[in-house]
Amino acid sequence: MADLVESRDQCTGDHVHKTAAYTRIIMEQLRKNVSYTDQLTDAFIEDVVRSAPLHDIGKIQVKDAILNKPGKLTEEEFEEIKSHASAGRILTR
């Protein structure tokens, strides 16, 4: 599923890889806090990092012309982009 999102446009592809990397950094830093040691196992962190690229899965439903538009989006196009969050929620049920 994440590969589908990545293939839609280069910005999204770069973004999902960076998000996974940032997620790993955050999880590793959180693990240093004694309060989270038991929850943040290696396996848990790997699961979170592998699933991080799915955070934009709703972009599958956004038109290519909008995803790849070089200039500023119209209000209507921006509304469609914003709808990817709720679309992703539906897709992952």
What residue ranges define each of the domains in the chain, with the CATH number in brackets?
Answer: 2-91 (1.10.3210.10)
Model confidence, pTM = 0.68
**What would the pLDDT profile of 24-80 be if each residue is shown by its tens digit?**
999 999 999 888 888 999 999 999 999 888 888 888 888 989 988 989 999 999 999
Long-range CB contacts for residues 68-71, cutoff 8 Å, separation at least 24 = 68/8, 68/9
Residue 55 CB partners (closer than 8 Å, separation 6+): 16, 19, 88
CA–CA dist 28, 77 (Å, integer): 37
Q: Are 23 and 48 in contact (CB under 8 A)?
A: yes
Please give the radius of gyration of the chain, using alpha carbons only, rounded to the nearest integer.
16
Question: What is the pLDDT confidence band of residue 15, given thresholds at 50, 70 and 90?
Answer: confident
